[in-house]
Structure 1
């Protein structure tokens, strides 16, 4: 150590420049020359890599645009096929077809899909009359004016928002659209327009637009020549696109790596610009740029690409390596000098280091060999993520599950993330965030990953979380288990249970019905011995029916097919009804009920399903209580929740069974000779139902001292009760049709304070059901509903005799659009959102008074005619 520290002594400094140190100087010269050569080579390689990556990215963008436009053509081909298969397609069929496509989820960026009909001049008036009868009394083909040939947009879905401005538009009246329409009609192929401004540009930023057309012909006419195709033309299916929205749907939410612009035509002219990601930074000169020509459905597009600073910076590493090389060269010079000046010391040190390196290499080789054998012997995939280095390692088995071979698997973290679908990635991030916040060291989650072939692979992700001393994440390591076979078996099991359960219902219904007729005396007097056997058969058929119902409920819950009709209602009548329904069963077992009467407690539940939960709790308590015992049912408030409990006097639940009590097919006595019959599904179904009502279940039991099963539900405060509950004997009855719960509640409170009785409906179908069940003085209506448009609901109601005179107050942010389509239709009033209580009550009172006056006048006219 002292010798090393004395290297810079006067004697050693002189030795640095002596002939004895010539080898070190030669090493320095060679190292610097090698570093210069490596720097020049790396610069050349970086430029070549940047050019290749740039070309790859431009090709990916061009291919993505072509692929998405091809997908959109397939949508139009499907719409044309709908017309080819039917002589007439009505508006509901067109809407159903497009709803099944789920355009917003599957094809983001598409403005809509429509159909425009070609009309001779003498057919325009009849066409307008027919459309008005569909519920659009203010419909008119536009723009007006004489033309040799007309067309009109008849269908356009979704018929909301911006698309309302295009309804009824004659696209033949505009030269650019007309040229593309006639070209598509005469060629029989898909065509797109040049750059246009869509009618949908009613507000906000005006985007460049284009339209795609596909002709629909009459099936009984020849289509051999352009003239014949034009003569046989019925209309065109089409899609309008706002270019910024279209490109956002194609490119997704990923940060752009390149700047690019799209021009209409073979040259990049500013007036032909369709889309651009470029900013106004005109001073910057990109290092890489190129232009691609893209031919799409009769049009030529020019794609102009340029590199971004972030892209260019990722390939500028040679300079840093140059500095590192100079430092290494200097270090080699110092080391060579030390070796030269201290040869004996260096030789001893080199010998020691050689031994240590050999030992470390051997230990590393053995560790890698053990790891390789462990990974090879396990069927699970193994993975490790270093968050500090943003690197990933995954075993060959892990990539094999996803269709990758070991030599082509993407080992970088950024390339691995797309293997997870966006929704799964978000869910996994939330799971990790919860794990980190709670301080746990491991996590486990089922997820879906994308196979290389495009399908999804169900997997079980299990991992260990490694933190540093400050508690920050450093590393994630874990396993990956392919669940495809397990899921396939589960699906087969569920399908088998569902199929068998449904198929058993028909013969079981016949058996139960026949036994009921016989035991009821419909077939004559039954001998006593036979009657006893028939009663046993009937009881077991009822047990089998309950089993099938439980299996079907469990299957619906597992598949997410069970829907609940959640309504705010008092819990006391539901409890009393459940006790009455199970009274006969309790008497049969010698059990009496004890009810602690609940107070005025309101909850939001599905009454039928809550009855099912109470029946499960009560029947279990009856079965497991000795004859003569009491089953107690009581309610208690716990903060902002209400707990309903059922207590029995049975033997209790064994400690070992507590963790499985709410699992499917779980029974404390699982033997073939258990005392109490049952499917083991009742408590599992009860747990699922209560949780879907935003509640929770539980129990407590001491062996030999009975058991208490309970469920808790959120308590509805008095100021949140529906108006019909607060003012049961108030004034006129009003139906509020609104799909936003907060707005519906606001309307209930405002109208309730004014003395109205209020019912709510959250969809068009539910509104029709409410109107069919009772009479209403008026109805408020939002134009945008989850299952249809409010204007369509108005049209349907006006065609029904009982509701032709019903006053309707439209409350919407789009009243102008509605007025334009409906005009001054009788019995319709309009209230623009936002509104206040005074405006609401004044509009509603005026609507009801006007309707009453109109009915009085009609009655007077009727009496005078008699």
Structure 2
């Protein structure tokens, strides 16, 4: 007879609760115990993490309030400075100052910026009459009533809306305000009132209020004691705050993650409540609470914080894991029960699961260990800057690099910025701004920071940029690498190269000189085969000499030891000289030059260094051009800069090499069998030289169609058409000699609008050239020029019969010195810098008064041209 289903169910129940199934029950108990232990551990970890985050949020709120109040103090100190700098500040000036602050955009939540004037009883009537005369016919000082001393809110911007109720209010009439005002006046420091109700509470919800005061004193009165300061008090600069509006401005639109309240005083009392994020009575006990004290300008605030349900829920993630663990536990129990009779398979399964857990734990441990060792092995420090909170975290290694003890507490960003050398700070900020504007997610910059002992520490800062949807910078995180050892090695390498290069020059000079004498026949005729070999040796001596010179130039540029003799001079002769100097080298390679004649353009350069750049460009173009090709040299204007380009018809620049083309020792063909010899330093040196002359370099190339290398320099002067206001002028022609471009532009504008025709030059040499080509009604002259002294030019002009009678107006900051050195006989007119248009034209009129040509009529160009 077969067993019924009821009999099978009874057997299963007996088996489930039998001793034979003890292993399954043991597995269930162990799994539940492990699940309970894990749940307790996760609960503890979540609680600790939530506590840290809660403390961080509370500190951020406290720091934000403290920082904003400090910023508001700076606004009032600036307003007090306005009174210190002026005997009388007008209402229009006060309104202009307020509008320039743009407080609604930069510091939302501030009710306004005002000034309360101190008055004696006998001054009140005259004061009220004066304010009414300003356009306020209904003005009166309030509240009325006799008092030993009065104050009146004289300025308050914006003078609209709620602020109209406070206009003319005597804050000394109210005890709380009076106490804070007298404390500020007696101490000479900023003070904040206790909780008050502002006069601005004219409608809507009444908010708690407070006021910040900065005293303003009469000038030239002693301020050494509280009594003297009270006696010298002129008025009070102040700002009123409605606390709800102020906190909304400080916290912004971010939803608070915790409840907090601000109380006036050392204890949280309901009657001293200034601000609270809670609405109504609290109906639950928060899991996290914190109380902070904040000392602000003579007042102590108590800040209480409490966690919100949403905040607490965000850290209560153990529940799903517990349910999962319970499910796993029950599954294990079922499996163990099903496999009771197959103990070996169950044990194997348990061993497999235990091994998997062990491997996962070991993998996690190894991953954390690898991350720790990577940071330790790389010798990098890490840092994190939260720009919204204004806080900085740095690793112990980062502080160790700078000689400071480890400090993992949040630090103000300014502490970090103060460690960056001032000379590098602007460059670092510019580099970061450019990366943000370009939309980059990372940046890398070498800079120098100040060690605790005063030494300079070169570091490499690399970081990740976090921005919001509008592209505003929010957070920076990255690493810091100490470059001291690398810089030391680079310095040793540079010194080694310099020493070796200098030591090679002496024997190389002897070898080259000896070869030159032998090849020149100084010791007799040389056999043809030997002459060929000696010629090869001499050519390679020259190559080695060029290499040594390039190495020395790079060393000087890197060390900042290369000097530049910058002079304002025409560009055209420099280009023609470079072509002539490289003509023989071009003929040797069967290449010709083509020059697009530049205009009469003047630049401020070191002629020898510019020749070196042109020689590098031209020799490269010749070297890579096929025989019979033509190398083109071209110059053109690009706005306020002049570009000089050298184009060849060679193979062009490979795409893979373009990023390194201006780097040291860079060559497109780096093999030992490359067709064109060279050091790879020429373009790197050219780039450094042009940049030291305020220029820039670049290139463009199409593979197989040649390459064009160019450099740009600031344009100092170019002969062009006269400005529109001079094009049809018939006034006298003047020559302006001045080496400062801004002054040249100023004189050209002033004189051009007055009806003169103006030619401008920047040096003594240019002035001599113009005076030899054109007759001028008069000349203005600066004494100190880039290539000489103006007195020498005056003596030369007076010695020339054709220019002796030309009036000269000296415009300089050294007129007294010039008069003594020139032994002035009255033929030169002097005008001290600075000057205005009226002074210039009146002085020029006197200068021209003895000249036969009238100011309104110029000499005939047909008669005066030479």
Q: What TM-score does the superposition give when structure 2 sets the normalisation length?
A: 0.49
TM-score by length of 1: 0.49
Q: Which has the higher contact order (CA 8 A, sep 6+)?
A: 1
Please identify the structure whose Cα radius of gyration is greater: 2
